Structure 1
Amino acid sequence: MCSLTLERCLSLVAGKCISGVNESNLNPLAGKKSNKKSGPSPNKKVVSAGLLALVLGFLTFLVYVPSISNDYALDDELVTQGHRLTSRGISAIPDIFDSFYYFDDAGNYYGYRPLVLVSFAIEHDLFGEDPEIGHGINVLLYVLTCVLVFLTLVRLSGGQSLWFPALATLIFALHPLHTEVVMSLKNRDEILGMLFVMLSFWAAFRFVDRKHFGYLPLVVIGFAFAMLSIPTIAPFGLFISLALVLFGNPGKVELAFVAIPIAFLTGFYLPAEALRFPVMLLFAALPFGFLAVLGKWKLDAETAVSGTKNRYVYWVAALGLLILGTWGVANYKRMAVQRGYNLPEVSEQMLLRKKPGRRISLSENPMALGATTSERLGTSFSVMGIYLKLHLLPYPLRYYYGYNQVEIVPVTSLWAILSLLVHLGLLGVVLLFWRRFPLLAFGLAWYLAGVLAASNLPLLMVGIVGERLVYPASLGFAMALAWLLIWLLKPDTDRAGLSFKGLSPTMMGALLVIIVGYSGVVVSRASAWEDRYALFSGDMPVLERSAKAHHLLATESVVLALESPLPQPEMVRQAHFHFMETVRIDTTFPLGWFDLGRLRIMMGDKEGALAAYERSVVVDTFSAESFMDLGTLYGDLGREKDALKMYLGALEIDKGNLALYAAVSFQYFKLENYDRAIQLNQQALKYFPLAFDPVANIGKCWLAKGDTLQAIEWFERALPLKPAEKGLRQTLNDLYQSQRDSSQVSPF
């Protein structure tokens, strides 16, 4: 009963959203009206849109169910698992909206994606920190996204034959490239961004088709929520406005009420202030230019929201929105400062690459440390070719595509040239056939926009290639592939619904390949994403040339060895092997030599650790930990002067580290340079005026110098800072006795 009701609701949603559709779009393969009868044949069983939405949703859920039992995996700690904000539950929501997406104690910070953190905060408040709950929510959000994709494509294709929306949604829902997005909790931002874009997309057509202002807030809120989930979804907002023009009959006022808020939100989130107004103007004006090109400029008399009588009132309102949005983008900083908000600091970091925030390392993107114009162009074109290959043949997949995985090539490279020619050819199809085959052209344009954004040409990406980066673009690929399959295999697209009777064996085979082939890869990736160790070890055969992959596997092996109640010599040996591979592949890999040194200390190999640490301080001259650990090791080996040199190097890097002041002053103390030790501790008190150790250490230095009165004075200053310190009380007691001050002996 419940499923029938849900089916009926989905059928109603799919059916009512097509009123006012241009009849030339009824057949997804033709640009002109079909002459064939469109009703269902009495001797053919037809599947309704509602039932099909349920089937597609259930199939998607079924394929991704194995991932729900997975543990935490790569980078999940960025949003959950002990996160400093989301672990506090809903009480942290105000702080989440006033914080960066990522920030740490070292001063690194970037991004503004509060909605994804809010989702985890609510989840933790209701269910606690449980990875299975998180994975289950990811799967449900993805299923909902696929249902919205289907309903939107039903509208785009005219709502008659369901072959195109069904096949495109099937390809999108089961495509293995989405496994990283769905199976990684950290990538919930990608799911939410796409979900809310599709919600805005669907609501925009409801607004235009049904002439009801009640859907307009859903358009704006949906896109705003998408931007608050992941701002890089912004380019697809333009496609909402363009789709209204291409597949609907919007009046200019209706179009303005959709295009202007989307343009404003896009401009607001741009990190580069100089680009905000031009981009906002482009997003607002381009749909109207498209409207004129299609000859739909004079449709207001028939389709204005409230008819011709009041259309000028709505024009004034739309123009007011544009003016208000422009003024807001230009003045939001001043307004926020006046009201005491922290918005200016946050908003300037809304995108990943905005300085000073996220620095992209060589291991994340080989072009980060500099590439020629030829290399930047050639590699970007090459990356676009890699993405096309992964869409066509999504195997083998991997969690990492950074250094040593994607070759840096000049623009004259054969692969770069071939990729450029192929993508220019796809662009040519868009420009030549957008009138005749609008669904094909729209899908290809959507795909090209998404792939171009992820190609490293506009901005360097964290991970030169990433499966998650083309998650939105894959919808365009699914549309284009579905169109091509229908064009080649010719199922019955001239009748309403979805008829399987008389379906050719070739079409059945294509469907079987998509369902079985894609599902098999998805299920296998669910095993790979079971936990961090399974992911890092499972993908290692295709990542043997990656320094970062070896480092991640080695680090996780050490973690498991330390967490085990029993000795794990094999796990330790495996960690050592992969740390060695890390520094062999990339001798400058950050933390490679340092972690190798720490592991060798754990193994009792001090000489081997010494060699690793000495390389570490040469490779990473900004790692205070490397200098400090090497200093400690020098001290253990009796090389006090070398230890002091390392501690001073660490202190130069991190002047706010109390432990470093203690270590350096202790080295001076051992070298009997008491004056320098006192000076270091006094310097520490400038940063940490209430710290116990610097005060007590100064007392020890005066005592070593033979000045008992000065020692007593400093020890007396230290005691209130740590009243329970029995050793200090005993020392003071002994000093008072030595001074024969019996009045002070009894308290100690």
Structure 2
Amino acid sequence: MSKKNASSVKQSSQKASAVIPSVDQSLVIRRRLFWMLSIAAFLLFAPTIGHGFVLDDIAVIENNRFVQEGFGGIPDLFSTFYWKGFWDANAGLYRPLSMVMFAIEWAISANNPAIHHFINVFLYALTIGVLFKLLLKLLPTYSIWVSFAIALIFMVHPSHTEVVANIKSRDEILCFLFFLLTFLSLLKARSGKPIDAVKTALLFFACLLSKEAGVMYLPIFGLYFWMAKKESIGSVLKKSLPLIVITGAWLILHQQVIHADPTPPIQYGYHDNSLIACEDGSRYATGIGVLGRYILEVVAPLNLSYDYSYNQIPCLSFTSLPVIGTLLVLILSTLIVVKTRKSKPEIAFGILFFFVSIALVTNIFSLIGTTYANRLIYAPSLGIIISFVLGIFILFKAQQSEKWQSGAILVSTLIGILFSVQTIQRNKAWESNTTLFTADVQNSPNSARVQFNYGVLKMNTDERDSSVIRQEWLLAASSFKKAISIDSLDAGSYTNLGVVSYRLNQLEQSVRYTQKAINLNPTDTSLYANLGDAYFALKNYDKAGEALKKGVQWKDASVSHYKRYGISLFNLKQYDQAITVFKKGLQKFPNDTEIASNLGNTYGAAGIYEKAGQTFETIYNQDSSNVNALRLLITSYGQAGNQDKVKQYSSFLK
């Protein structure tokens, strides 16, 4: 008996020792995969650390007065709406968390985009690691390689480049990261432990302070516990109660901040969201088409762009193929959810995750400040990726392939490689406004804004070679014309086309385009200055004077505008008015010798010789090397009969 017991104990010990290494091995693999994904995510986007400020980075960081105050600006960032530090555009947004981080980073290293890019890349790498951990919790009955494949494809998805490479999109990263942490906290929460509920609520509050769209994660938590965990609705509501309470507190805070500022809500136009130009029925159809485009982008992220505004995505009808296709996908998705809700609830959850999290930005239920954006697919794409990867793994297993798992991993890896190549290329586009505008004029050729921005880029070329400069200006003109062909009410493109035409010495065209800009925006005094310059170059002094009369009222009117206005009046022999203009110009630009000379000449032409002499005398006393002023003052005083002055200054004329 003792031998048998000893043997039995020995065998049990051997069995135990056989189990423990496998558990340890599993933990080791998980840790290695966690670090592999996190490091790979960092390396993938590390090149963006050397990029500059791009697009809205200027508004939220580089030229944001609250951010530039560093730590001192934090109270203002918490108490004002999102854009307040740059401009009075109350869009109903309150996202202080990312802004506070920008202020702290600015305090550490002012006007240094590298520190902001580094933090973005680091946070993204952290997000991928946390996502992998969460997936292991969400999919406990599936192979570890399922979670790895999902995290891998999500990590390298090209659409996420905008989120990481554009510093402004820190709000997207933070909101999603805190959502993942909240989900993990919910899964780990111990029943009856208030500290766990508080921790979970605070994490979700951080998500909401990062971006308003975080509120759509609230039903997602409930869906998972109801569908995948088979919990009752009562249990789900009880578990979600701390999150519901904190969401209510956030909503009160959000509304107080937004409505405390006297700035009226911003009114978006069709150039911001092209659906505003659609009729009511067409608006809903186009919103459905936008949803379909988001679905397609997750699957095939091609022709990515920083902008899809008017009229890259035109108005659609319910008979349009994109709308019909989207409705068919919705029907198919519904059928898959119904079929898998009980047998494979994780697939159903992934599909619902996508549709719930994308709902607010499709423009179906309410119009937002943009037509479409790559960054808006960031979090929702996870849902489709979850369902797709699970489907691939299940498909291979259902075919009873001996290497089903290896085959599924191979498919996921190939997708990851293809996406990685695209992402690396897309990273390069986000280096600067120059690289981005140049790349995306090909990707969004029907966006008036994209054409306008590319035109501005070419118009303000840094080239030095005159022949190259001319070619750049011609490209600018072509781009502005394309913008106008897309949006005939684009005053900015008409304005710049007038300027470029002027530089190209196409004066009649400059007049025509500038006049169209004035017709669209008659209160812009700078346009009258431009129009006056063109008429002046055409020697049409009558119309030049008429335009420049309004043009010099522009706050940035230059000394040249005053000169041309005065010279136009001079050529029309309206000397008294010319004198008034030159005097005003001289008051604004007291050190400009040319405008002073113009004033002296006008006095002379008007027969006011004494004042002409005094004017040239002042010029000469300021610059005794100005021999021309000396001659003119002697001549003027001579005609005025002031021989004392003539005698005094004639001795200097040698």
TM interval, shorter chain, is 0.7 to 0.9
Q: Alpha-carbon deviation of 1:439?
A: 1.5
Q: Alpha-carbon deviation of 1:669?
A: 8.1
What is the identity, as a one-letter code, of the residue corresponding to 2:518? V
1:374 and 2:247 equivalent?
no
Check the 8 A contact 1:113/1:189 in 2, yes or no: yes
1:420 and 2:420 equivalent?
no
Which residue number corresponds to residue 77 of structure 1?
58
Change in Cα spacing, 1:621 to 1:100, as seen in structure 2 (3 Å) is farther
Change in Cα spacing, 1:90 to 1:441, as seen in structure 2 (3 Å) is same
Change in Cα spacing, 1:623 to 1:433, as seen in structure 2 (3 Å) is farther
1:221 and 2:196 equivalent?
no
Q: Alpha-carbon deviation of 1:442?
A: 1.8
1:345 and 2:261 equivalent?
yes
SS in structure 1 of the partner of residue 474 of structure 2: helix
Given the alignment, which residue of 245, 251, 260 partners 2:245? 260
Which residue number corresponds to residue 477 of structure 1?
384
Check the 8 A contact 1:553/1:578 in 2, yes or no: yes
1:634 and 2:503 equivalent?
no
Check the 8 A contact 2:130/2:180 in 1, yes or no: yes
Change in Cα spacing, 1:78 to 1:627, as seen in structure 2 (3 Å) is same
Separation in structure 1 between the aligned mates of residue 549 and residue 170 of structure 2, nearest angstrom: 44
Q: Alpha-carbon deviation of 1:391?
A: 0.9
Check the 8 A contact 2:298/2:377 in 1, yes or no: no
Q: Alpha-carbon deviation of 1:136?
A: 1.8
Unaligned runs of 5+ in 2: 1-18, 591-595, 609-621, 624-639, 641-654
Change in Cα spacing, 1:179 to 1:528, as seen in structure 2 (3 Å) is same
SS in structure 1 of the partner of residue 220 of structure 2: helix
Separation in structure 2 between the aligned mates of residue 233 and residue 257 of structure 1, nearest angstrom: 15
Which residue number corresponds to residue 336 of structure 1?
none
User: Aligned-residue CA RMSD in angstroms?
Assistant: 4.7
Q: Alpha-carbon deviation of 1:535?
A: 2.0
Given the alignment, which residue of 433, 437, 456 partners 1:555? 456
SS in structure 2 of the partner of residue 490 of structure 1: helix
Given the alignment, which residue of 519, 535, 543 partners 1:618? 519
Check the 8 A contact 1:67/1:530 in 2, yes or no: yes
Which residue number corresponds to residue 167 of structure 2?
185
Which residue number corresponds to residue 479 of structure 2?
581
User: Which of these two proteins has the greater Rg computed from alpha carbons?
Assistant: 2
Separation in structure 2 between the aligned mates of residue 665 and residue 61 of structure 1, nearest angstrom: 59
Given the alignment, which residue of 269, 274, 284 partners 1:360? 269
Which residue number corresponds to residue 742 of structure 1?
none
1:136 and 2:43 equivalent?
no
1:406-485 mapped onto 2 (5 Å cutoff): 406-431=313-338, 433-485=340-392
Which residue number corresponds to residue 465 of structure 2?
567
Change in Cα spacing, 1:518 to 1:256, as seen in structure 2 (3 Å) is same
Separation in structure 2 between the aligned mates of residue 577 and residue 592 of structure 1, nearest angstrom: 13
Which residue number corresponds to residue 237 of structure 1?
218
Q: Alpha-carbon deviation of 1:474?
A: 0.9
Change in Cα spacing, 1:597 to 1:436, as seen in structure 2 (3 Å) is same
Separation in structure 2 between the aligned mates of residue 598 and residue 44 of structure 1, nearest angstrom: 71
Separation in structure 2 between the aligned mates of residue 515 and residue 575 of structure 1, nearest angstrom: 41
What is the identity, as a one-letter code, of the residue corresponding to 2:100? V
Given the alignment, which residue of 145, 161, 176 partners 1:194? 176
Which residue number corresponds to residue 539 of structure 1?
440
Which residue number corresponds to residue 78 of structure 2?
97
Which residue number corresponds to residue 514 of structure 1?
415
Change in Cα spacing, 1:642 to 1:209, as seen in structure 2 (3 Å) is farther
Change in Cα spacing, 1:253 to 1:389, as seen in structure 2 (3 Å) is closer
Check the 8 A contact 1:554/1:574 in 2, yes or no: no
What is the identity, as a one-letter code, of the residue corresponding to 1:360? G
Separation in structure 2 between the aligned mates of residue 570 and residue 57 of structure 1, nearest angstrom: 45
Change in Cα spacing, 1:218 to 1:180, as seen in structure 2 (3 Å) is same
What is the identity, as a one-letter code, of the residue corresponding to 1:56? L
Separation in structure 2 between the aligned mates of residue 237 and residue 667 of structure 1, nearest angstrom: 69
Q: Alpha-carbon deviation of 1:266?
A: 4.2
1:393 and 2:300 equivalent?
yes
Check the 8 A contact 1:67/1:526 in 2, yes or no: yes
Check the 8 A contact 1:71/1:132 in 2, yes or no: yes
Separation in structure 1 between the aligned mates of residue 221 and residue 579 of structure 2, nearest angstrom: 68
Change in Cα spacing, 1:580 to 1:116, as seen in structure 2 (3 Å) is same
Check the 8 A contact 2:48/2:117 in 1, yes or no: yes
Which residue number corresponds to residue 496 of structure 2?
595
Separation in structure 1 between the aligned mates of residue 342 and residue 300 of structure 2, nearest angstrom: 30
Given the alignment, which residue of 426, 440, 455 partners 1:525? 426
Separation in structure 1 between the aligned mates of residue 86 and residue 548 of structure 2, nearest angstrom: 21
Separation in structure 1 between the aligned mates of residue 338 and residue 581 of structure 2, nearest angstrom: 71
Separation in structure 2 between the aligned mates of residue 650 and residue 567 of structure 1, nearest angstrom: 31
1:489-527 CA-to-partner distances (Å, cap 9, x unmatched) read 2399xxxxxxxx956452242132122111111111112
Q: Alpha-carbon deviation of 1:57?
A: 0.9
Change in Cα spacing, 1:622 to 1:40, as seen in structure 2 (3 Å) is farther
Change in Cα spacing, 1:459 to 1:675, as seen in structure 2 (3 Å) is farther
What is the identity, as a one-letter code, of the residue corresponding to 2:144? L
Separation in structure 1 between the aligned mates of residue 555 and residue 458 of structure 2, nearest angstrom: 32
Which of the pair is proportionally richer in helix? 2
Check the 8 A contact 2:190/2:196 in 1, yes or no: no
Check the 8 A contact 1:450/1:470 in 2, yes or no: no
Which residue number corresponds to residue 170 of structure 1?
152
Which residue number corresponds to residue 126 of structure 1?
108
SS in structure 1 of the partner of residue 62 of structure 2: coil
Which residue number corresponds to residue 18 of structure 1?
none
SS in structure 1 of the partner of residue 170 of structure 2: helix
Check the 8 A contact 2:507/2:537 in 1, yes or no: no
Separation in structure 2 between the aligned mates of residue 675 and residue 204 of structure 1, nearest angstrom: 82
Separation in structure 2 between the aligned mates of residue 657 and residue 538 of structure 1, nearest angstrom: 33
Separation in structure 2 between the aligned mates of residue 218 and residue 706 of structure 1, nearest angstrom: 87
Change in Cα spacing, 1:614 to 1:121, as seen in structure 2 (3 Å) is same
What is the identity, as a one-letter code, of the residue corresponding to 2:297? L
Q: Alpha-carbon deviation of 1:107?
A: 5.2
* Percent of aligned pairs sharing the same letter: 22
Q: Alpha-carbon deviation of 1:230?
A: 2.1
Q: Alpha-carbon deviation of 1:466?
A: 1.3
- Higher-RCO chain (CA-CA 8 Å, sequence separation at least 6): 1
Separation in structure 2 between the aligned mates of residue 179 and residue 108 of structure 1, nearest angstrom: 27
Higher mean C-alpha displacement, 194-203 vs 158-167: 158-167
Which residue number corresponds to residue 152 of structure 1?
134
